[in-house]
Structure 1
Amino acid sequence: MTEYQPTPTPLAPFIIHNFIIPLIIYTNKSLKHLTRKFKLFEIISYTIVTSFLFFLKIIRSFIPSVFNYNSDRYHWIPFLKGYGQCTDVGDIGSFEGDTCIARALYQLLAIHNEIPVSSRKYEVVRSYAEKLMDENLGVSCEPLRQVNATVLSGAFARALRQLEVAVAEGDCGEVDSGVDVVEKSGGGGGGCFGLSRVVRTAGYFGGAAWTRFVKRKSRLGVSAEKLAAELLWLAQKLSACGSGDEAVRQWASASNLASVSLTTQLRLQGSLVKLSVYLFKQAASMGGKDDDEGTMEELRKIKMKMLMSWIPFLCRSSIGTDAPVLSFNEKAELENVLGELIGSLKHEDEQEKVLSLWLHHFTHCSSSDWPNLHLYYDHWCIISRKLLILDSK
């Protein structure tokens, strides 16, 4: 019997994955807080990332094993989000769903994500994608349903990452065209960063060079409001193929987005409210009597995370005045949904945390009296009192 000999790790992939990539990530993260204040550092950071991507594309031709080594789907890619044309694994390699139909749907959704709503090809691409997804479901074949679910989940994650970047950068952005093309100013604006005249002047010319030579405008042409509408559409498609819980999981984990959205534009807040309301309803429908204890525990944690992340946003966000985002019945329906979700949590600990969080933000926001969960708060107090009496006997 031949003794097993472990295959040695190729040197080039080992160096790239263990030295070069961590160095690039560390450098990029070190510059990240400076890019929000100084345009020059933003250009430097972007140059590092784009050069790195160009290096990967070149070296892939000579050392294919670089993209096979440690194939955990390139866990280091997320630090690239928001830079240049590459924001997802699929932009570097091929989509892992190794079927023609999966790659076709992936390409359609990627194009749908990139082009602005004002483009005459936008509706063409969207209708192609919807037709393909509907035909996949119409066959009643599990592999085809799984194609829809897998590709849509990846598209939702990509759009969610882009939305986080767009909202975070929105404090110094401007809204224009189509569904509000988000566009960075050249840096010559007044007090956006509170810089001295010299630094503002340098930022202005840096911004001009940025736009002219790097052409980053094409990526920023995807506005935050378009992304929010796209996420709602993707969530609806995920629900249609029986994977709405995947959108809920991702939205529940977007706590940073929920925080920064409190200070974003009112119209964008309205779009995010619509999306949150839809996903809260999806969360309430998750789980069933046939689920085992482990699954129910996992779903309970997701619901808890969803409530803790997005209740402050619901309490403080704009739901429209001239043109309300939600009707009276829709607002009442969501309050019932939130009450149902809270009721599914553990009484002593989790319900208290959620209701205390709601009470704080509800009472400290003078511009809104929704969602009003006082009935569920009273019910929780009554049950807590009864439990205390039982424990004292």
Structure 2
Amino acid sequence: MSSSRELQYLEYTYRNNRPTTGLLNSIFMTTVNTAARSLVSVASTASTPEIPSRRWSASDHLRFMSMMMTWLTLWILRVFLDYLPLPLISSSSSAYSYSYPPFSFASGLLTTAAENALVPAKASSSSSTSSTALVKYSGSSDLGMMICDGVDEPSVNSLGRALCHALALMNEIPVTSRKYQFAMGMAEKIMEDNAQSGHVDLLDVNRAALASSFARTTARLQDCLKRSRTADEPFGGLPLRVVSALPLGGYVASYVRGLSACINTVRSLADMTGNLLSQTRRRESAVVRAGGIQENEAELAVEKLAEELLWMTEKLRRYGAVAEGIKRWSYASGLASLSLTAAPRVQGLMVKISALLIGELARDSTQVPGQVTFRLLANWLPLFSHARNGLAFPVLTGYERVEVERAIDKAISTLPALDQEILLTNWLQDFSVSASEWPNLQPAYDRWCHSTRQLFM
């Protein structure tokens, strides 16, 4: 009964939230076929024996130009598919107007059940019912709809869905709203009551719901940082993305970004002094300052998601699911790279999350594969060295920094020699060019050198 119910959730959610870019893909494939046929036509014409001995006619030139235009159109469509995904949203799915993929309990809670992360499978002796209830959670465009069979029969999954609902609402409600604290309080109450019961299934509900919400919030934070980074680039970053797609374009794009940063710095200094600006520039600066409200809102949204991730990390540790948080944080390589250029407050929150997870990683009670340990350290150690100091208070106290260094040292010592070499080499490179004196992993580096030297003695 439980498995059939979960399959119905998955089937209904896929039917309502499946990708809507089929038309663009169809146009692309049609253009591919047309380009292939035009290439075959031109090649067959050029391969005839009499063609090399005479000039091309007007029809030959038109055929060749048509082929070139078709292939150019194909390339433009490929760029759109890779860098400008434009979902063709129909009227039936207009409720999902957000840029994030629609949240569904099937994709969050129920898929974790399929991975044995929610509730162990049990044989249900209750009779099946034919009643089907349609539940719509209004007030949030990310929540969608669910189909439930046998809602009259209480189950642990009901509490799981309620907890997922409260955690999802936290992502949706602005932090300035008084309802935000209400939603957070509801989620905390459900988790605390589940923990006080001491029942294994209820504890698993807390762990699975938190793990699912942690993954969703991580993806949203990465998307917000990526959008804010693109907004800072000229023309939304489209020219740089096109250049990066070309051979050796990554090198050119990096130089252009550096040049743009220098120009923006000079402009900001000129705005502050006001001596090098004309009256037109002053009016343009006023327009930019008027749009600063939207930029501040975007920064607040990013900081809100980072705060929620830190809150979820602490809850994962409290309810014994920190290993799941370590695993998911180790896969966030894209977020780790974006964090290097994030705002100082956001960087500080990510440093706290990484330090907390690495500290738990060094505990004997935390068991994770060596690959997870390597990914976690490789992705997030650079942030420790390159995080900017822009806060009025230290992100970590002196004692906490020493404890994190010890945890990193212990975690590195558990890895194979080759993995230790990669991590310590990268750390030495970052530590040498950074103004920060933390983390200092020289003892771990010396130990690795000594152990390697012993192999030849």
TM-score by length of 1: 0.65
Deviation at 1:109, TM superposition (A): 0.8
Residue type of the partner of 1:358? Answer: W
CA distance in 2, matches of 1:142, 1:48: 45
Q: CA deviation at 1:157?
A: 0.9
Cα separation, 2, equivalents of 1:299 and 1:95: 37
- Structure 1: runs of 5 or more not aligned: 1-11, 36-41, 57-66, 74-84, 174-188, 197-215, 289-295
Choose the corresponding residue for 1:31, options 80, 83, 104: 80
Q: 2: CA distance between counterparts of 1:340 and 1:320?
A: 30
Rounded to whole Å, the distance in 2 between the matches of 1:283 and 1:51 is 48
For 1:327 and 1:160, locate their aligned partners in 2 and report how far apart those are by CA, in whole Å: 25
CA deviation map 1:229-258 (0-9, x unaligned): 101111111222211111110000001110
- How far the C-alpha of 1:31 sits from its partner, in A, is 3.2
Name structure 2 gaps, 5 residues minimum: 1-10, 29-76, 97-105, 113-139, 150-154, 240-293
Distance 1:128 1:248, change over 3 A: same
Against the structure 1 CA distance between its residues 358 and 238, is the aligned structure 2 distance closer, same or farther, given a 3 Å change threshold?
Answer: same
Larger radius of gyration: 2
Q: Which residue identity is paired with 1:48?
A: L
Return the offset for 1:286: 6.0
Partner of 2:426: 357
**Residues in 1 aligned to 2:233 and 2:79: alpha-carbon distance in whole angstroms:** 26
Amino acid at match of 1:238: L
Match of 2:373 among 303, 306, 329: 303
Partner Cα distance (1:95, 1:251) in 2: 32
Matched residue of 1:99: which SS?
Answer: helix
Aligned with 1:107 (options 151, 165, 171): 165
- The code of the aligned residue for 2:421 comes to E
CA distance in 2, matches of 1:29, 1:91: 31
| Cα distance in 1, alignment partners of residues 361 and 227 from structure 2 | 29
Q: 1:377 aligns with which of 428, 445, 448?
A: 445
Deviations 1:93-148 (A, max 9, x none): 46999732112111111111111111011111111111111010000001111111
Q: Which residue of 1 aligns with 2:396?
A: 326
Paired with 1:333 and 1:132, the residues of 2 have a C-alpha distance of: 33
**CA separation of 1:253 and 1:355: change in aligned 2, threshold 3 A:** same
User: Following the alignment from structure 2 to structure 1, what is the Cα–Cα distance between the partners of residues 79 and 148?
Assistant: 31
- Write the letter of the residue equivalent to 1:123: Q
Amino acid at match of 1:108: A
Q: Is 2:119 aligned against 1:119?
A: no
Summarize the Cα distance change of 1:221–1:126 in structure 2 as closer, same or farther, 3 Å threshold.
farther
- TM-aligned CA distance change 1:121 to 1:278, over 3 Å: same
Q: How far does residue 310 in structure 1 lie from its aligned partner after superposition?
A: 0.8
> Structure 2 matches for 1:61-100, cutoff 5 A?
91=144, 93=146, 99-100=157-158
Give the deviation of 1:329 after TM superposition.
Answer: 1.2
Distance 2:325 2:391 in 1: 29
1: CA distance between counterparts of 2:386 and 2:338? 12
Q: Which residue of 1 aligns with 2:356?
A: 278
Shift in alpha-carbon separation, 1:55–1:111, aligned structure 2, 3 A: closer
Whether the 8 Å CA contact 2:20–2:88 is kept in 1: the answer is: no
Q: Distance in 2 between matches of 1:371 and 1:192?
A: 38
Question: Does residue 310 of structure 2 align to residue 240 of structure 1?
Answer: no
Contact 2:307 2:349 in 1 (8 A): yes
Query: Is 2:436 aligned against 1:368?
Result: yes
CA distance in 2, matches of 1:72, 1:129: 20
Match of 1:143 in 2: 201
Report the TM-score, using the length of structure 2 for normalisation.
0.57
Q: Residue 372 of structure 1 aligns to a residue in which SS? A: coil
Matched with 1:223 is 301
Q: Give yes or no for the alignment of 1:342 onto 2:341.
A: no
Measured on the aligned residues, the alpha-carbon RMSD in Å equals 3.9
Overall identity of the aligned pairs, in %: 30
Confirm or deny: 8 A CA contact 1:95 1:103 kept in the other structure: no
Mapped partners of 1:132, 1:101: distance in 2: 8
Give the corresponding residue for 2:213. 155
Task: After superposition, give the CA deviation of every residue in 1:268-289 in whole Å (9 maximum; x if it has no partner).
Answer: 111111111111112222656x
* 1:210 aligned residue: none
Give the distance between the partners of 2:348 and 2:307, measured in 1 at CA.
Answer: 11
Runs of 4+ in 1 over 3 A off after TM superposition: 19-35, 49-56, 90-98, 189-196, 219-222, 319-322
